[in-house]
Structure 1
């Protein structure tokens, strides 16, 4: 069984208030990045990255300067800093979404940065404008910190999985719309037009995200009692749902993807190997059944990790 300080237990239903608040906060910060950063295919320019203290935008060019906005889950703070030495921070606990929204833009004004975003969240059924959202106002550091430690492990394993693919692949990055950490591999071929369907999200967003054939893997704080690792293909080839899977994994007709419960990984004698076997098996199903070009991988993830 894995060390709980490394692979922490965090039941989904115990941290819903913090998760929903944090989701809206990351949407605000992600929209600031989207407004300022140069566009990259499949919306790769709007994502956040896992770092040694939490989640960060990474460097965002603002004129001749660089801006970074970071969630510090060690000191429970939101930090905005610029390459010319500017820095503004405020504590995360004690703020509703509306208050957080106001504080972030106040911090940007102090740094001399003017930016306008679409002030409503995406990919949620009930989209309360940020400036009016006083419902989501919970931040428990122990819950956010445990989620971040889950992301650290997922980020590390996803990076190992990504390393063996020589075709086009995304970075390992955090999508603020769906609140998941993902890495995506591409066959190199265009895909059928995506029908859209995500709540409060224009079809054009999904069409750009799924413009080319892909196999995506990641970690999501849903889909199981403690969250789940997932894998899906677009378009899903015939027979994909019947693929052979490692023990504990299954295909979810509800979500249209394969799921491996986080708790199955946390309680495994080899957590890394369990996740990598799942990612390898589901990618193999997508590539084999979808007749992807040969030679895109350099052996199994477990072989590359020395397992």
Structure 2
């Protein structure tokens, strides 16, 4: 598989939606087992070599564990710091069956299993325990989907390193099913209007409590029916859409209020990493200039290795 695999939202959509619902279920664990971290960072999953993994979660008695969505083998992998390891397959299962199987496995391992409730940020959400919808899974589509997230994550991490101010990790929010990296000016923002489906407004307002310039990747949907990268600011200056973004195929999506470049355009370029970095940098510069962000936090070249390693 290439570093930037081909994606086809129309053909891959059943697998994308299945993965989204599996990640919603897994995401309830860090949501309920961690203390709240600013902007909900504790709930997000990280891209791993095989899929998406939680942060280490407390299990009681000093133990900790993680749950990983293995996109290669189509299973959930549970790892505990006492050496215990378990897996729960999800291919061919409904979310209701998967919830039951995962809960039983966790409880048998004496691990916490707060898996009640249902998905967030989706319209007409169905409780996990009642979700009997068939969840198709195409192994090739799953590998390509993970490969695209991994490629985006690699560039997002390099981009994150270019900012000396507060910045989020590159992490996947399972509610919206997108990978995001967000920079902060340090200034408070006006209260966010909220309005996301099946997400309390107080959560959204805490996430946007301070000014942000954010970029991300999502595999399709939400107004762009193909995989794409996006960038936006909150609050968003009225004239932001007039700014030029790079590469030339990037554009301002007026309905979304975001800059967009399709994944296909990035992947087809001579240097996809450089094309994506140009999009991230140009959109950040446009928003930062119009919002009068501090200018002393920008670094222009990623540095690999710690300063101590250069001694």
Give 3-state SS (helix, strand or coil) of 1:15's partner. helix
- 2:91 maps to 93
Alpha-carbon separation, structure 2, partners of 1:110 and 1:162: 40
Residue 99 of structure 1 and its aligned partner are, at CA, apart by: 1.1
Q: Structure 1, residues 183-220: CA drift from partner, whole Å, max 9, x if none?
A: 00000000000010111111111101100000001111
Provide TM-score, normalisation by structure 1.
0.94
Give 3-state SS (helix, strand or coil) of 1:30's partner. helix
Give 3-state SS (helix, strand or coil) of 2:238's partner. coil
- 1:258 maps to 259
Residue 76 of structure 1 and its aligned partner are, at CA, apart by: 2.2
Structure 2 vs 1, CA of residues 144 and 108 (structure 1 numbering), >3 Å: closer, same or farther? same
Residue 117 of structure 1 and its aligned partner are, at CA, apart by: 4.2
Alpha-carbon separation, structure 2, partners of 1:288 and 1:178: 28
Q: Which segments of 5 or more consecutive residues in structure 2 lack a partner in the other structure?
A: 305-311
Give 3-state SS (helix, strand or coil) of 1:150's partner. helix
Aligned counterpart for 2:53 among listed residues 49, 53, 56: 56
Give 3-state SS (helix, strand or coil) of 1:216's partner. strand
Give 3-state SS (helix, strand or coil) of 1:241's partner. helix
Q: Which segments of 5 or more consecutive residues in structure 1 lack a partner in the other structure?
A: none
Aligned counterpart for 2:201 among listed residues 200, 203, 206: 203
Give 3-state SS (helix, strand or coil) of 2:119's partner. coil
CA contact (8 A) 1:11 1:225 kept: no
Alpha-carbon separation, structure 2, partners of 1:27 and 1:273: 32
CA contact (8 A) 1:9 1:226 kept: no
Alpha-carbon separation, structure 1, partners of 2:224 and 2:269: 16
Name the stretch that deviates more: 85-94 or 144-153: 85-94
Alpha-carbon separation, structure 2, partners of 1:118 and 1:174: 21
- 1:138 maps to 136
Name the stretch that deviates more: 283-292 or 18-27: 18-27
Give 3-state SS (helix, strand or coil) of 1:233's partner. strand
Alpha-carbon separation, structure 1, partners of 2:28 and 2:225: 30
Residue 289 of structure 1 and its aligned partner are, at CA, apart by: 0.2
Structure 2 vs 1, CA of residues 177 and 284 (structure 1 numbering), >3 Å: closer, same or farther? same
Alpha-carbon separation, structure 2, partners of 1:295 and 1:82: 42
CA contact (8 A) 1:34 1:45 kept: yes
| RMSD of aligned Cα (Å) | 1.5
Q: Give runs of aligned pairs for residues 12-91 of structure 1, distance below 5 A.
A: 12-63=9-60, 64-91=62-89
Residue 142 of structure 1 and its aligned partner are, at CA, apart by: 1.3
